[in-house]
Chain A
Amino acid sequence: MTAPATGTGPGGGPDRPGGLTTRGLAVGYRSRSPRRRQAGRRAVLSGLDLQACAGELTVLLGPNGAGKSTLLRTLCGLLPPLDGRIHLGGADLAQTSPTALARRLAVVLTDRVDPGLLSVRELAGLGRHPHTGFTGRLTAADDAAVAWSLAAVGAGHLADRPAAELSDGERQRVLTARALAQEPEVILLDEPTAFLDVPSRVALTVLLRDLARDKGLTVVVSTHDLELALRVADAVWLLDRGSRVHAGAPEDLISSGAVAAAFDADHLAFDAASGTFGLRRTARAEVAVDAPAEVLPLLERALAREGLAAAGPPGAAGVRVSWEGADRFTLTGPDGRAVPARSFHELTRTVRTW
């Protein structure tokens, strides 16, 4: 929506509305040492200068234990920062009262929620807490805000359902609606797609991006769903194993090699060209392949799983796989005998014996 601003000064200034900025932020835990007395500080991440812009979906990525949850819990005020400042728009988070903060920033946590006998509408209505009066009575304006938030996440038709009966995907939508009902500028979500199936993950991630774009919200999401995040996110905060944070558009981080550095492992290789991960395995042998282009990718996948690399055009001799049409193959083994295979499954079982 708006271009990322650079270098907004701490302590206010002519900041753009919305947006979340950190200056020299250190997050972690204050723990009492076993010997009591001196309070220990265990910084998980420090020196963070980050910015999430209004109108953009910012995704927080990183391996397990890198400190994603700690950072998010600090950003939403559940953990005090060890050092540095967090600015919401122009306001310093440390100077903001809890109610004023709740009107500007809402969260969806990983906590398991037990909605009891609340209806979906009542559950989303809990987000009106910072706006209602002493008794908590919802006015017509509050009801309208709840209805609007449910409609915004596509859960309007669920309003009268008991919240306990929702599917995982529906429940995350409704919890997002509860956060929206706070009418915030910033929404933070801690692994909202963790327990969802693939279609629900895609739907929720796209929904969050649309909310950022259409409503001008600042949306920050932590997730393990790397490939989807790199496809959908406007900006990425990438925590690597060395507690460094890389920020930029997904493509910036891919081309700089930061994504590969953060996630590559013995068996996993990041392919910068496709933005996807693949299994890293050295092939034990090469197989001559004779198949049309549309079958070739699937055939290569199947062979790679068996530790075989597909070699270019078939030579005269040696092991080879020929496509005979309709997923039928002729396999020529090391012993020179040709065996028919009527499916990929038969093919992989046969080549495994080679």
Chain B
Amino acid sequence: MTAHTATAPAAAPDAPRTPRAGRRRTAVVLALAAGTAALFVLTIATGSHPVPVAEVVRILGGGTADDPRWAVIVEQVRLPRALTATAVGAALAVAGVQMQTLFRNALADPFSLGVSSGASMGVAAVVVGTGGVAGSFTGGLAGLGRVGVVLAASSGAAAVLALVLLLSRWVRSAVTLLVIGVMIGSAATAVVGVLLVYARPERAQQFVVWGLGSFGATTWPDLHVMLPVIGFGLLTALLAAKRLNALLLGEDYARTVGLNVRRSRDLVLFGTSLLAGAATAFCGPVAFLGLAVPHLTRVALGTSDHRALIPASMLAGAFLALACALLSQPPGTDSVLPLNAVTSLFGAPVVIAFLVRSRRGVQGVSS
């Protein structure tokens, strides 16, 4: 057999990976990590009552603050918000990466294909059924209630994702699929509207506020549910990197290199539903992050290789989510802008400019 196999010569050190590409990736990842850490501290420092950056660092490091009120603000309000932004940013970015590869569609992300709407539907069902939403509705909710909301949101997300995946078998055009996703999202939103008729008015109003998106409504008990779920989702994505790479050339090529395509699709569907479901359950549907971050990261890294793309997208997603959190609470004022207003106002033009300028970026996964 060996005589008739196209066997490459034994490993010779004559094929070094180009150091330039590797160095660029390392530099991008380090820069993103540093930027994320800086924004994390900055997000905690700013707000209606500014806390000096040095104090923030000291409190985060376990030290005691000069002013005990600062410690309370940081630990009970600002730190949960910053952690939420970091986790949700990473979750949506990685969900976007996986969906764009799975659908081979540059415009896929949890928001654009209606997956967030599906998650909303799950949340609305819980609101009507039991009268509680995670995050915004912390009063009187036990841990199980939060888990229930996350499960409902993830199930709604998975239902929509499976439906879109099914339809994508017959639809080749990226744009047509996007329109279908928008339609499914509209249908899910309509179901939410109907469900809310049967909810108590104050619940319905809280739901509407939740729908505007916010990183600021989570508490520590919320985080105890959200962080493990998102962490698990991110881990499945990291473990799926090899499978996602095999899918880059399409399902037929993936099968001929030995990939079990159906199992991979199920795995990605599961992980993406968890990520989008958990993010949406606690923060509402957040636009733009899942779509834009993968593109920006691909171009920054200069590759579509998921082994680099997924970790870097986590950092880039966290970075941009923190930046949006920062902008949604303009320093020195008490007003809080709706998160989606910020992500869309600042994000949509970035995406448009990016797509218009970088044709290669669009071609990244479009079909």
Contacts and interface: CB of A to CB of B under 8 A. Distances in A.
A17 B246 contact: no
Contacts of A17: 1-4
Contacts of B241: 135-136
A251 to B, nearest CB: 26
A198 B4 CA distance: 31
Interface in A177-231: 180-185, 187, 211, 215-218
B257 A114 contact: no
Given A117-B302, A140-B13, A144-B11, 15 more contacts: A78-B255, A99-B258, A102-B256, A103-B258, A107-B253, A111-B250, A111-B252, A117-B299, A119-B303, A122-B305, A129-B245, A130-B257, A140-B15, A144-B8, A182-B257
A98 B255 contact: yes
A143 B255 contact: no
B97 to A, nearest CB: 12
A139 interface: yes
Interface residues of B, number: 51
Contact of A129 (B3, B13, B18, B257): B257
A147 interface: yes
B5 A18 contact: yes
Contacts of B260: 98
Given A89-B1, A114-B365, A147-B15, A141 B259 contact: no
A107 B241 CA distance: 22
Contacts of B302: 117
B305 A183 contact: no
A77 interface: yes
B258 A98 contact: yes
Nearest to A113: B249
Contacts of A239: none
Given A98-B260, A136-B245, A147-B15, A18 B8 contact: no
Chain A CB within 10 A, most for which of B15, B16, B365: B15
Interface string A101-136: 111111101010111111101110011011010111
Nearest to A102: B258
23 contacts: A19-B4, A89-B1, A89-B4, A104-B5, A105-B256, A114-B363, A117-B303, A117-B364, A122-B304, A126-B249, A129-B258, A130-B258, A135-B241, A137-B307, A139-B11, A144-B9, A144-B10, A147-B14, A159-B18, A164-B360, A164-B363, A185-B1, A187-B6
Contacts, number: 161
Interface residues of A, number: 67
Contact of B6 (A77, A109, A117, A215): A215
Contact of B252 (A55, A78, A97, A116): A78
Interface string B335-361: 000000000000000000000000011
A308 B292 CA distance: 66
B1 A118 contact: no
B78 interface: no
A160 B18 contact: yes
Closest 5 CB pairs of A and B: A136-B242, A18-B4, A102-B258, A147-B15, A145-B8
A118 B248 contact: yes
B176 interface: no
B245 to A, nearest CB: 6
Given A114-B366, A140-B13, A144-B9, A162 B248 contact: no
A135 B307 contact: yes
